[in-house]
């Protein structure tokens, strides 16, 4: 999978001259708006209708040219056969390792049984007393052995009289005889049990040594298998990712025509003086080869994408805001976190209109495929004309468009970054951070904590702006802030919708965790490790009581996304 991201933004900015869609659903026109199955939103004054993009566009092939790299297809085929052979060879070692593990199971069972017998036997004779008696005897023996030197030292020191020194020596001897008697009596009374215990301990030690040797051999065999596979895999990947072919795809959405068709269905509603496409601020192309061409036929190689790179025309890239990383800029040694607007995108009101680059009609993308993709097309004898006629059979493009929704009031957010990070949990085996539960649990937490609050500034007195609608806006603000805090510490793992069922299910699961309102789409977690920003991480954890603030006085903009696909033209 390859993605080309044009710009995504969540804005909290002053009012602008441009009218934008709102969340209003209470506009009254005297008759029902015929949406033709499309999503339609209205401006705050109910005079402008905004039509969401159509669900399906068309795509055509603008050429397909193989590069010199295509001459290495035979090498790639050989590398794949070598990888398949390595799987067979490594399987032999893995089977040996598995057989060793089976051979070791009786030893493990025997060790468990011996430990059970040992525990029961020790309980029968209060074996813990044996340790106490033995330790007392050994300490008394040490003092008894040194009694004459201790007696001589006592006389030389002069701290005690000669009789007192003699009494101390006699006391040492008496203590030794008493400790020895108790120790010998216990051993005599439990002689048979102590013998069995010694035998069981020796037996367990022997079993542990055998189990350890087997485990060592299993690890060696597994390492042999891994090394065989890894060498062949690296060789295949090196060839598979070589530059193989160039192609150009022309996308046609006919968005304006789509809007016009909806307008014609509603000429009987004079209150709607204008019909417009959504004010787009971002576009993200997602390009995939079909599963048949994306798959290597082996799960160990399934992470290889057939697409080498994607190039989009520069003019489609909209204004890109600074992003959340500017929140922690310092000046004069002081943080800007409490300065009003410090956590905003710091966009000049005069630049707001520049965010909206208008409708989306047609565009193109230059795609470079690697040998993994190009050689499959070549080996299957797919001609350029066939590829053009059935392009969506081989290449599956999709598009995410984002626009802004206007909320007619401001807000003030107050939150502890430490508390937000504490809602995450680490999966150490994968090195990722995820929400502790599904995204719903995060929003439930925000409702019941004093560590994260959002209060609206001058909300309108309207029946439409009910508590559910305000909750929608508040959730959008909180989620964007939460993702921003995490992005400032860790790099994000992202997901995008794919067409094949397996990856679509993965993408759906990602959406359940929550889509971000930042510039990287849908987030499913954050990578922990060498790339983390330890300065911000340490700050959040060392200053757990600190609140960060964010404020917008007049208008808040929240984004809305739509994914659409293309069919061959």
Long-range contacts of the stretch 264-271 (C-beta < 8 A, 24+):
265/34, 265/35, 265/36, 266/33, 266/34, 266/49, 268/31, 269/29, 269/30, 269/31, 269/33, 271/27, 271/29, 271/30, 271/46, 271/47
Strand positions, DSSP E, 512-547:
522-527
Q: What percent of the chain has pLDDT over 70?
A: 70
Q: What residues have CB less than 8 Å from 108, skipping those under 6 apart? A: 211
Strands 280-289 and 2-5, how do they pair? antiparallel
% of the chain at pLDDT higher than 90: 23
212 occurs within a structural domain: yes
Element (DSSP H or E) covering residue 136: helix 127-145
- pLDDT digit string, tens, across residues 252-283: 888 889 999 999 999 999 999 899 998 877 77
Residue 231: inside a domain = no
Residue 136, C-beta contacts closer than 8 angstroms, at least 6 positions apart = 179, 182, 183
Q: Is the pLDDT of residue 471 over 60?
A: yes
Task: Indicate whether this model's pTM tops 0.75.
Answer: no
Determine the Cα–Cα distance for residues 41 and 39; give it in Å rounded to an integer.
7
Q: Which domain holds residue 174?
A: 83-226
Residue 338 lies in a domain: no
The whole-chain average pLDDT of the chain stands at 76
Which H helix or E strand runs over 512? helix 501-513
Total domain count, the chain: 2
Does residue 153 lie in a domain region?
yes
pLDDT of residue 204: 92
477 within some domain:
yes
Residue 178 located in a structural domain: yes
Residue 350 lies in a domain: no
pLDDT in tens, 36-79: 988 999 988 899 999 999 988 888 888 889 999 999 999 999 99
Choosing from 164, 194, 226, the residue where a domain stops is 226
Q: Tell me if 154 is assigned to some domain.
A: yes
Given this model, what pLDDT does residue 27 score? 87
Report pLDDT digits (tens) over 167-187.
999 999 999 999 999 999 988
Would the pLDDT of 368 be above 80?
A: yes
The pLDDT of residue 569 = 78
Residue 205: pLDDT above 80? yes
Lowest average pLDDT, out of 258-267, 404-413, 422-431, goes to 422-431
């Amino acid at each position: 999978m390859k993605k080309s991201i044009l710009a995504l933004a969540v804005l909290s900015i002053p009012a602008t001259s441009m009218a934008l869609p709102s969340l209003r659903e209470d506009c009254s026109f005297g008759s029902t708006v015929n949406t033709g199955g499309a999503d339609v939103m209205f401006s705050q004054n109910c005079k402008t209708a905004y039509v969401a993009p159509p669900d399906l566009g068309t795509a055509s092939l603008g050429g397909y040219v193989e590069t010199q790299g295509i001459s290495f297809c035979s090498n790639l085929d050989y590398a794949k056969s070598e990888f398949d052979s390595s799987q067979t060879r490594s399987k032999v070692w893995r089977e040996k390792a598995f057989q060793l593990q089976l051979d070791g199971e009786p030893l493990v069972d025997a060790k468990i049984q011996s430990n059970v017998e040992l525990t029961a036997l020790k309980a029968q004779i209060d074996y813990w007393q044996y340790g106490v008696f033995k330790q007392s005897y050994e300490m008394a023996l040490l003092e008894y052995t040194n009694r004459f030197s201790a007696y001589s030292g006592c006389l030389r020191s002069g701290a005690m009289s000669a009789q007192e020194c003699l009494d101390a020596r006699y006391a040492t001897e008496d203590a030794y005889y008493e400790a020895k008697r108790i120790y010998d009596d216990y051993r005599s009374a439990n002689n048979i049990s102590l013998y069995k215990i010694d035998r069981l301990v020796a037996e367990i030690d022997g079993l542990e040594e055998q189990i350890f040797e087997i485990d060592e051999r299993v690890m060696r065999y597994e390492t042999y298998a891994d090394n065989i596979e890894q060498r062949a895999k690296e060789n295949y990947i090196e060839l598979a990712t070589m530059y193989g072919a160039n192609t150009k795809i022309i996308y046609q959405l006919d968005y304006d025509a789509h809007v016009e068709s909806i307008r014609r269905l509603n000429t009987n509603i004079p209150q709607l003086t204008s019909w417009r496409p959504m004010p787009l601020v971002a576009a993200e192309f997602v390009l995939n080869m079909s599963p048949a061409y994306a798959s290597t036929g082996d799960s160990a190689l399934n992470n290889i994408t057939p697409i080498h790179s994607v190039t989009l025309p520069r003019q489609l890239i909209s204004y890109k805001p600074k992003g959340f990383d500017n929140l922690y800029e310092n000046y004069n040694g002081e943080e800007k976190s409490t300065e009003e607007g410090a956590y905003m995108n710091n966009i000049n009101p005069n630049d707001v209109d520049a965010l909206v680059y208008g409708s989306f009609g047609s565009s193109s993308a230059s795609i470079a495929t690697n040998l993994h993709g190009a050689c499959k097309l070549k080996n299957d004898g797919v001609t350029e004309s066939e590829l053009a006629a059935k392009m969506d059979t081989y290449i599956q493009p999709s598009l995410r468009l984002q626009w802004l929704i206007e909320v007619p009031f401001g807000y003030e957010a107050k939150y502890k970054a430490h508390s937000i990070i504490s809602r995450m949990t680490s999966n150490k085996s994968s090195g990722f951070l995820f929400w502790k539960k599904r995204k719903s649990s995060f929003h439930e937490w925000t409702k019941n904590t004093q560590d994260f609050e959002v209060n609206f500034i001058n909300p309108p007195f309207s029946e439409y702006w009910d508590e559910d609608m305000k909750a929608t806006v508040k959730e959008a603000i909180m989620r964007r802030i939460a993702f921003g805090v995490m992005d400032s510490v860790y790099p994000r793992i992202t997901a995008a919708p794919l067409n094949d069922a397996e990856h679509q299910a993965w993408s759906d699961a990602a959406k359940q965790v929550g889509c971000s309102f930042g510039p990287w789409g849908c987030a499913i977690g954050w990578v922990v490790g060498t790339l983390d920003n330890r300065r911000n991480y340490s700050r959040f954890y060392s200053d757990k009581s600190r609140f960060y603030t964010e404020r917008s006085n007049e208008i808040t903009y929240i984004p809305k996304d739509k994914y659409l696909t293309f069919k061959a033209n």
